[in-house]
Structure 1
Amino acid sequence: MRAKQLKLIWFDPLLSDNESDRSQSLVQAVRYHLENYGLAFAHCADMDSVYQEAMVSIAASKMQDVRALVLLNADFAQNCAVAHYLRAVAPGVCLVARTPDYKEQTLMHALQSGVDAYFSGTVSPYFLSTLLFSRMRAAGLALPSSTQAEARPMPDYGWCFAEQAWAIVSPDGKRVRLTSSERGFILTIVQQPDMCASHDVLIDHLWPDTQNAKEGGRERMNVMMSRLRQKFKRKGLELPIRALHGNGYMFYGPFLEQRYS
């Protein structure tokens, strides 16, 4: 019998905007992490899509399979309206919403609409994943027992730099030495607020004085990524960097910041 696939509804109108690299990067990063735990994603770019997704699940008597809904919309009023509706039709769903600020009136409005947890401003993919898991646990929503994540559990500690960032150390202590370009590449990614860097940002950091860098920069990064993968593979490691579908690259997994000893 095929294992039941649980669902996460992600409401973010910016996902339909090709120019919204930050929104695209965040959803892709969280998706990489949560799909390991058996959560299927349903992307909704407008309120009608959210309601339709919920009604399909209700009609199929599978609303209990919807474990969480992330309200990433910048329009706080729409977030509250969606939360109020979902709380009525699916009382057990975990609702996490973005708020414009942490003012008491704003948070009261969110909580009264049925929101379980909230955040404001820019957050990292790892923080958002942790927030979702925390609220799902609090609501008694167990995750599937047979998952990729169980086979490869997340460590209690993370990756870190060593030797003034001329080497990177895996959570289990394996050390990989880096060339100057590889060092700059990884440093640039992890120093971004959400550990996601666009191609243009990486090219500007790696080859700032090259006139035609942008023309050949992506190809040079592809070659660098290929060599890095092989270098990590020889150490029995998987490179903790993922390509973001033409937008750039993301560091995947826990990282211990500012450790360069």
Structure 2
Amino acid sequence: MTDNHPPSAHSITPPPHVFVLEDNTELRQDILLPALREHGFQVQGAATATELYRTMLTQHVDMIVLDVGLPDEDGFSVARHLRTISDIGIVVLTGHTDRQHQLDALKSGADFYLPKPVDLDVLAITLKNLARRIPSKQHAHKPQPQHKPSTATHWRLEAGGWRLVSPRGKSVVLTASEQCVTTTLATERGSPVSRDLLIRALSRNVYDFDPHRLEMMIHRLRRKVLANTGETLPLITVRGSGYLFTCDGDSSVLSS
């Protein structure tokens, strides 16, 4: 379940977009989201890491309030993954108060660590302080758009899935394996695709297919796209589930 309220029309600049990743529905919907909204943030929330990754494919998120205990992925793992793909601000919330837990959160890439039950005013001030530093990172990247992840819906598969076109119109010719993986992901239209399903699409004999080959293929595809377009391919690893990717394409590519 998500909750998203757009910024008011009279705002000079849009307020920071905060995503609350917390699996406790009452805490998320009845306490955290309303409180942050009252403090002037644009807020959105979900219970699973998969929902966060899906949101980040189509929306810019400035900061995340991250619970450690999630149903589909450890919060520290989420923080580490986010650090590899963005400069998003990360505030970890956890019921653990021991020093090692705090160190683990910070080592995973969190900017701040706040214990539960969290003081809502402290959380809001922490996010506001963090937001003051985030724009400088974003502006520093504007002259070099190749460092900024591209919006997934503006990527496009053409020529039957053999050519991947970036939002800025740069093309990458795909190999047979890359074409198979990208079209399989694209046909799911933003839903995670398991590694097993991708392996079955790639090989008739799934038992002889080394899963590490798939991971290496994804890694090389990301590097290839970045090298050829200067843009980051928004093909996201969903821990414990597989991969997530969405793009535009003609009916011959995206037909089920």
The TM-score, its normalising length taken from structure 2, stands at 0.50
The TM-score, its normalising length taken from structure 1, stands at 0.49
